[in-house]
Amino acid sequence: MRRFFGKLYVQVLIGVFAGVALGFFAPGLGSDLKPLGDIFIKLIKMVFAPIIFATVVLGIARMENMKELGRVGVRALIYFEVLSTFALVLGLVMVNVVRPGEGMNIDATQLDTKAIAGYTATAAKPTGFVDFMLNLVPTSIVDALAKNDILQILVFATLFGVALSHIGPKGKPVVDFLDAFTHGVFSIVGMIMRLAPLAAFGAMAFTVGKYGLGSIVSLGKLMGTMYITCFLFVAIVLGGIARLSGFSLWKFLKYIKDELFTVLGTSSSESVVPQLMRKLENAGVSKPVVGLVVPSGLTFNPDGQCIYYTMAAIFIAQATNTPLTLTDQLVVLGVLLLTSKGSAGVTGSGFITLAATLASMGKIPVAGMVLLLGVDRFMSEARAITNTIGNAVGTVAIARWVGSVDRERLNQVLDGKTDPEDLHELYEGQDAPSNVQPISVSRAAA
C-alpha cells in the first residue's frame, strides 16, 4: 500500500481530487491557493531553458554526420504541419456535427468585454511572417534564456552545437561541462517534481473555487465535444501513428503517466518537458532527436490547441448567430494554420491566439470570447494533455522515421521489462543507448 501511494501519479491524482473538493466546498480558500500551482510552474521554467540549451548542444555536438541535422529538422516540420492540420480539421468537423453553440442566441453587442480586454490588447501586436523570422534571432543568448524563448534558444543552441562539432577535440571540455551540467539540472528537476501533487492541489482548488462547477454545466455540450474530440484524436490519429512506428500507444501512455497526471493538475504541457525528454531518451530515442523535436514541438505541434481553436471559433459564430459559409470556415482554418504556431505550453496562451485569429478575420465577433471565459480553464486540461501526448508520440515517430530509435530498447521499456530509472543511471554521460546509431537515412528504411 505504501508503495502504491508513493507513486507520483497517484499523489498527483489525490491532489487533483482534493483540490476539486476544496474549491467546491470552500471556494474562497480555493481561490487563494493559486500561488501553489504558479510556484511549481515557475520552478519548472527556471530549469526549462538551461535543459533545452544543454541537451540540444550536446546532441548536435556528438552527431557524426552534420548533414542529417537538416533532414531531422525538415522531417520534423513536415510532421508538425501535417498533424496540426489534422487537428484543426478534426475540430472543425466535430463542431459542425455537434453544433454546441446552436440555440444560444447570444447578442454579441450586449456582452461585457472588459474581462477579455487584456487578451485582445495582447493579440493586437503584429505577428506577421517577417516579425516571426526576425524573432528567431536572439538579441543575445542571455536575453533568450531570460525570456525562456524556445525558438531563439534552439537557434543559438543549434549553431553552438555545430560549432563545437567542427572544432573537434578543442570543444571536448565544453561538451564535458555541459554533460555534467545537464545531469545536475535534471537532479533539480527531480526535486521540483516532488512538489507536483501540491501544485495540482492548488491549481485545481483555484480553478473550481474561482469559476465554479456551474460553468461546466452551462457550457457542458462544448466541453463534452472538446474532450471527446481530443480522445478521438489521441486514439485514432496518434494511435495509428504509434502503430505505424512499431509501438503500442496504450503502453506508451502508461510509461509517461506521471507526466500526464502532472499536466492534468497544472494545465500546462510546459511543466513536464524536462522529465519527458529524459524518459524519451531512456526509452531509446537518441538525444539529438529528443533535443530538437520536443522543444520545437511545443511551438509547432500544439495538437490540443489546434482542436480547440477551430472548435471555439465556430462555437462563437454559432452562439451569436453569425452565418459562416464553407469558404469562411476554410479561411478560419487557413488563418489558424499560421496563428496556432507558438501558442502551446503556458496556460492562457491559447486564449490570446484565438483573440488574434478572430480579430484578423473581422467576421466572428471577438466579444463572443466572453462566453468561453468560465469554461476555458476546464478545457485547458484536455488541450495540455493532448499537446503532451502528441509531442511525445511525434518524437518517437520522427526518430523512427530517421532511424534513430532503438526499437528493442523501446519495446523493453514499454513492456516493463526494464526499469526506466535504472536505464537513466546506466546511460549517464551518454547520448543514448550504446546500440542506437547516429542518425542515418539508410537506417530509416530498416
The better pLDDT of the pair 1, 75 is held by 75
Residue 342: pLDDT band (50, 70, 90) is low
- The closest of 292, 257, 283 to 272, measured between CA atoms, is 257
Q: What is the pLDDT of residues 36-71, one digit of tens each?
A: 888 887 888 788 788 888 888 887 887 766 677 777
Residue 81 lies in a domain: yes
Mean pLDDT of 101-119: 65
Mean pLDDT of 103-124: 60
Containing structural domain, residue 334:
2-441
Measured distance between the N- and C-terminal CA atoms of the chain, rounded to whole angstroms: 44
Residue 115 lies in a domain: yes
Residue 31 lies in a domain: yes
| Predicted pLDDT of residue 233 | 96
Mean pLDDT of 315-322: 88
**Is pLDDT above 80 for 126?**
no
Mean pLDDT of 275-288: 88
Q: Could you count the other beta carbons within 10 Å of the beta carbon of residue 217?
A: 10
Assigned C-alpha cell, 195: 512538489
Burial letters for 364-395: b for 16+ Cβ neighbours within 10 Å, e otherwise?
bbbbbbbbbebbbbbbbbbbbbbbbbbbbbbb
Residue 328 lies in a domain: yes
3-class secondary structure, 405: strand
Name which of 142-156, 189-203, 388-402, 428-442 the model is least confident about: 428-442
The better pLDDT of the pair 206, 242 is held by 242
DSSP letters, 66-88, are THHHHHHHHHHHHHHHHHHHHHH
Query: How many structural domains compose the chain?
Result: 1
The CATH number that applies at residue 325 is 1.10.3860.10
Residue 446 lies in a domain: no
Residues in the chain, overall count = 446
| Predicted pLDDT of residue 445 | 32
**Is pLDDT above 70 for 431?**
no
Residue 299: pLDDT band (50, 70, 90) is confident
Q: Report the percentage of the chain scoring pLDDT > 90.
A: 20
Residue 118: pLDDT band (50, 70, 90) is low
Mean pLDDT of 310-321: 90
Name which of 99-108, 179-188, 279-288 the model is least confident about: 99-108
Residue 114: pLDDT band (50, 70, 90) is low
Q: Could you count the other beta carbons within 10 Å of the beta carbon of residue 413?
A: 22
